[in-house]
Structure 1
Amino acid sequence: MELVTIADVRAAQDRVAGVAVRTPLIPAPWAPGPGELFVKPEMLQPIGAFKIRGAYNKIAGLTADERARGLVASSSGNHAQAVAYAARMFDAKATIVIPDTAPDHKVAATRALGAEVLLVPPAERDILPRQLVEERGYILVPPFDDGAIIAGQGTIGAEIADDLPDVDLVLVPVSGGGLISGIAAAVKALRPEARVVGVEPQLAADASESFRTGRRIAWHPEQTHRTIADGLRTVSVGVLPWEHIRAHVDDIVTVTEDEIRAAMRALVVQGRLVVEPSGAAATAAYLSIRDQLPESARTVAIASGGNADPAMLAEILSAG
């Protein structure tokens, strides 16, 4: 099984240029403690999350005939919007299978981008897309278990290493593993000394358990759907991401629901950055469990998305 290389990531950078925003590293002087924290604000992407990088890289790499067959993807929301957005740019039909537990605003945003949305129970989210591939000839655009997707997400890591060549630690939220796989592949190629650490909710800690045991473990949807971080509810990391994690990732840690909420408040109130729960997980690790992280003078936390439900965001802010 071939891993994504820095050459793949650089090629993806060229492909997504002008579509994905080259997000800056924002200093976070409000974060206490030794060393510096920088936040990578992927909520500034056109669809409000990092997913546009991988989705566009994948779809742009298809032939015109493949795109004309129609595209299908499964997602809790952000990958859905990314595929719908990229498909619209190529005038391709997109069908998105979304768990019926996904936030309403993410479902509405996907439909608004022109995609057909099919709501299914969480356990069926990965089954129906493959059925549609077989029955209708659609091209599958996976959320994470694909080399082109991983390379697209890896453009984040290349940007970090280019903008902060002496970075010591990169904190990355983990769901299906495409984001951390791409970032780790790029960072380790350009800055081998840096550590890459994944962050998961304790209530959806399949990747952490897999990392500790050395074998890929799946959790039940009933377990992972307990977390407020809806973008991190995937029941297991993908097969290809798992190989990247084994090769490049230094550790995977977990944070509590309260720590995620506190990080959301800090990012919004002190950092002026609107994030969804999944996008706050990496910062939560820096703020709340730094004793479990490698020592670092310069840390980057990936704020992976900002598609927060307004009512939930208001509730979390008022609780502070």
Structure 2
Amino acid sequence: YWSQNTAKIKFIGMKEGGMDRLKGKKIVNLYHDSAYGKETIPILETQAKMYGFTVTHIAVPHPGNEQQAQWLQIRQAKPDWVILRGWGVMNPTALKAAAKIGFPRDHIIGVWWSGAEEDVIPAGEAAKGYIAAGFNAPGADHVVIREIQKHVYAKGQGELEDKSRLGTIYYNRGVLWGILTTEAVRKAQERFGKGKPMTGEQVRWGLENLNIDDKRLKELGAVGFMQPLKVSCMDHEGGGAVKFQQWDGGQWKVLTDWIASDQSIVRPMIEASAAQYAQEKGIARRDCSTEK
């Protein structure tokens, strides 16, 4: 989430004409009032100091189906951008509320849990123009999705009752997890024995040694569908890039290529947080230099 948030600010900077143009801008962080929702407050505060913009954090109590007070506050604040860190019904409710006060939807940037069809279709016309982050591309026009249609659903073997969901955000996200899991097991078997059942520890090794490069993405039919990933003991993220997509009223349209996160901000914060947690819990740190 921290990495994604740095990519969001990069995207806003691109839209404004450069990161230097963020100075003096006003951004509202409309967040689900939970640990998940609050998670990006520290990174936003850090970026606000770096780039000179003002950030206002506004909480929405769960489940989020009442936001009149929050959007009154937003109308009064007159922000340039709103970051929507929502969940469930909070997302379409926010888009409807934005429409009521006339806030442009193309200046609302959602977290990826605010960026599926389920988040925009219930909002109707109010969702048109809304932008969200994503770590997988939408749509059925990807080789891997077409192959699933051809070899599974065309033969009546799929378990998805509503075939129209093929190519939707959540379906594609499931395919992405399937790729990562399968590739991790494959990698583990290369070391611990092909064709053998893998233990949890062995699959963890596989995950920590994933290297899904452009060549492998082409073999998987996933070029453009997901980003290349190179994971290690020291780097469990492996990529950290984000694509942005926009709802046109009927489907998601990809707006950008993969935008890299700013690890110069994120990594020191992660290491400091992890060190504090390890100290509080009495956890011994792994030494990646001793692992192969």
Same fold (TM over 0.5): no
TM (normalized to structure 2)? Answer: 0.34
Larger Rg: 2
**TM-score normalized by the length of structure 1:** 0.32
